Chain A
């Protein structure tokens, strides 16, 4: 499947300053929600934050997916969510979706390697560091999404980082996040992670169609509808 180009995804457009037609605060929230859901295994604190994250509502399909994720965060059993996070991302007998870009893209991946350094260089251009004490490779999906969220929040505050955002997006998002999003959707056994995967897929593949106003007309390349499995 052809992945959309970096420049034509909806979320990249959102991450422009408001006066350039963007919705940076909303972009920041979408990405923060994903970052929080993926950075580490669920806690009471993170689930509470996810529950609140879809309010006030965000427009369009992304808003729908956010609301689904918030609802899933509200109804999940914490232990089940932690077991599922471990199974998907850190299983000692074979994680299903290892959460690092290097693992997804390199044949002999190593943490703290070239991907990490490249991401760190981006972080520094924005004046931050990945937290060192946790010794997590910066190409972790949660950190990459958090970084994008940070840039979007800066843009919302009037510091136009949209060029850096777009550059990071094309270097570190399009090449692997659609695939891992699909894998999460296929493999998840609970709604929390299904909804996370779905929001991620929408966020990284939803295409902006110029000339079409109104979000109902947006198309997604995801081809993944909502499953009936968890409809209540």
Chain B
């Protein structure tokens, strides 16, 4: 409570007579209490307001209209006219109030008073003021840098917002790690070189053919993709889906092929071969806009080895189907081969060549940056905070890269950080090097081999946790800072997934941040002021503030005269016509089928067939397949009461043939083992999975006891997924550094 507010309330109490009634001896008692408890009656009846904001569940960032009744968030719905949401929302976005009013939320800053850490040790948490918490973290940060160097600080955080990155850059550590190797990293590296841009829009609404290798966005309930894919299909597009698991995407697909896990690359390469041999590609497009003419002979020779018959052996997809679909796809234009993070890129050791093959198929169709194809998003020109308020030069990021990414030429420049090699770095390569960790909305639950990761993170002597919920890493924390949820945040969001023209949607608090939670931008500024003041001052010497930063951004982007005006507007568009590109942002201005940069650094310039890391053996005869359920977002939504009710726990899906072999019935417990670890969970028997696979949904198995709903429900697929080392990645010449989050083989037994 601010002093000003307290004064106002006190005045109210005096004038209204609330506290004076009946007070004789204990006036200080009653007044002390009532001044903290009551305010004047502010409304004779319930007030209803409607505000526009932007969803924060996934990177789609769909536009939202929220209804707030009597100060309480009641309902959210889609924002009409929004390029992403299109007036619709998914189950996760619709559950917004479940995040805000979760009783388990972190509410106040706290610090540990018992320096002894460990299982069964009471941390002696005590609530502290924000001032004390920020002073403590800043002092510890500076002392650690002083004693052990900038590279002794590890941040587990996303690179947003940009003011947070200013804080990270001011620390100057090379060790900011996010989950990108389990996510987009492969796409970013491959597409960055081939197209000169890392991520793409997908014009599914106008396409005529969707060829999906494990791209499972409809089944993940992703509104923007599901909606536009359905629009395209209603206008006549065909959807062909390859996956070992018959998900909801298979349900709506025209054609579904139950492919052997990790063999999609064989099918894709064979399709490229058919298209090249039969010259079914868009010759004009290849001639004008790609390096195909320059490397034609090498490309033809390379793919000639990959025949449909060869691919059929590896994939269980009939050769005739492979050839037929290749012909259909190449001649049905515009067509698209969509891809999205977990859709193969991060799943297997051959994720990089697979992503390369997907890109080539899109180029052969001639649909890149054409209506109905992959397109370069048209984004609003929102300046970064560093462009508005130029900072002093940042310290160089030198010293130990704890995840080893500096040994890999492409991962280092992608600048993200690795989950899959972190445990190896912390415990074997550089033990004891990291002295302080700051966690922002991450836990080891999203890392391969969670147990090993948890043990590795526990070796770090001092930890700060910035989160909305008491997730698993709270066990390691010395200081806890409560974070505002996306429903309570402020930002300017652009339409990255479907930006056919520039559009921005405001993010504004539907309700004030509950308790003492603060947004990450404000936390960055407050920590920055204390630790690195020179980076958090404007030219005139005054401090940066979030309000001013947002004002300047909308002003300079030409969106509005101030952020508060943008809050009223809610949505801003510049509906300029879509003009297809004729030069592309690569070094040569042309799309790169053959990537010379890869060859120059000793990696494959074209997608070579590479098997997945692990193939079934006598000991581990089955493939592990994992999936993200439509009603959850990874491991962050299991404690939301709406989503928890829909899906509280996970079960293993087992094919009826395998169930018979194991002698199990629906609901029986099974133990699933890999070389990394084991889990036990109930089986669900269904022909929607291949008989040589077992399917485990991701995101369950929370270990933090304060997640009242989620604690102890289900198991972690990550316990089955082996971690890896940078040596492993370099040995297989993996240009994108896939985390191999599905690349495991297992055995299953009835319990």
Touch between A and B in complex, CB under 8 Å?
Answer: yes
Point out residues on A near B: beta carbons under 8 Å.
24-25, 28-29, 32-33, 35-36, 39-41, 45-46, 48-50, 52-53, 55-56, 79, 82-83, 85-87, 90-95, 98, 100, 102-103, 108-113, 116-117, 120, 123-124, 127-137, 142-143, 146-147, 149-150, 152-157, 159
Contact A33 B22 (CB under 8 A): no
Question: Which residue on B lies nearest to A136, using beta carbons?
Answer: B515
Shortest distance in angstroms between A24's beta carbon and chain B's nearest beta carbon? 6
Is B127 a contact partner of A35 (Cβ separation < 8 A)?
A: no
Identify 10 residue pairs between A and B in the complex whose beta-carbon atoms are under 8 Å apart, listed by A's number. Answer: A29-B25, A41-B126, A49-B32, A79-B113, A112-B100, A128-B41, A129-B42, A131-B1, A134-B515, A154-B22
Contact of A45 with B32 in the complex, beta carbons under 8 Å: yes
Shortest distance in angstroms between A37's beta carbon and chain B's nearest beta carbon? 10
Complex Cα distance, B30 from A147, in Å, reads: 11
- B11-50: contact bitstring with A at CB < 8 Å (1 yes, 0 no)? 0000000111111111011101110111111100000000
Nearest-neighbor residue (CB-CB) of B128 within chain A: A82
Contact in complex: A53, B37 (CB < 8 Å): no
Contacts of A33 in B (CB 8 A): 29
Q: How far is the CB of A66 from chain B (nearest CB, A)?
A: 10
Which B residues between 696 and 714 are near A, CB-CB below 8 angstroms?
A: 704-706, 709
A155 touches B22 (CB 8 A): yes
Given known contacts A53-B26, A93-B123, A112-B72, A135 and B512 CB-to-CB distance under 8 angstroms: yes
Cα-based distance from A130 to B39 in the complex (angstroms): 6
B346 nearest CB across to chain A (Å):
31
Interface string of B467-478 (1 = CB under 8 A from A): 000100011010
**Given the complex of chains A and B, what is the CA–CA distance between A147 and B39 in angstroms?**
12
User: How far is B34's CA from A143's CA once the two chains are assembled, in angstroms?
Assistant: 9
Given contacts A24-B22, A93-B470, A143-B37, contact A111 B102 (CB under 8 A): yes
- A32 contacts B22, C-beta separation under 8 Å: no
Shortest Cβ gap from A16 to chain B (Å): 13
B38, A128: Cβ atoms closer than 8 Å: yes
**B515 and A49 contacting across the interface, CB-CB below 8 Å:** no
A131 / chain B contacts, CB cutoff of 8 Å: 1, 9, 36-39
B105-127 interface code vs A (CB 8 A; 1 in, 0 out)? 01110100100000000111111
Interface majority SS on B: helix, strand, loop or mixed? Answer: loop
Among B39, B512, B704, B705, chain A packs the most CB atoms within 10 A around the CB of B39
Give 1 or 0 for each of B654-669: 1 = CB within 8 Å of chain A CB. 0000000000000000
Does A29 contact B26, Cβ atoms closer than 8 Å? Answer: yes
> A29-B25, A109-B103, A146-B33 provided; 10 other pairs, C-beta below 8 A?
A25-B24, A49-B28, A49-B33, A93-B125, A93-B706, A108-B641, A127-B41, A130-B38, A132-B42, A132-B71
Within 8 A of A (CB), among B613-655: 641, 644-645
Q: How far is the CB of A115 from chain B (nearest CB, A)?
A: 11
Q: State whether B33 touches A149 (Cβ < 8 A).
A: yes
CB distance from A180 to the nearest CB of B (A): 14
B644 touches A108 (CB 8 A): yes
Are the C-beta atoms of B37 and A147 separated by less than 8 Å?
yes
Would you call B5 an interface residue if the criterion is a C-beta within 8 Å of the partner chain's C-beta atoms? yes
Identity of the chain A residue whose Cβ is nearest the Cβ of B477 in the assembled complex: A92
Q: Does B101 interact with chain A (Cβ within 8 Å)?
A: yes
Residues of A within 8 A of B33 (CB): 32, 35-36, 39, 49, 146, 149
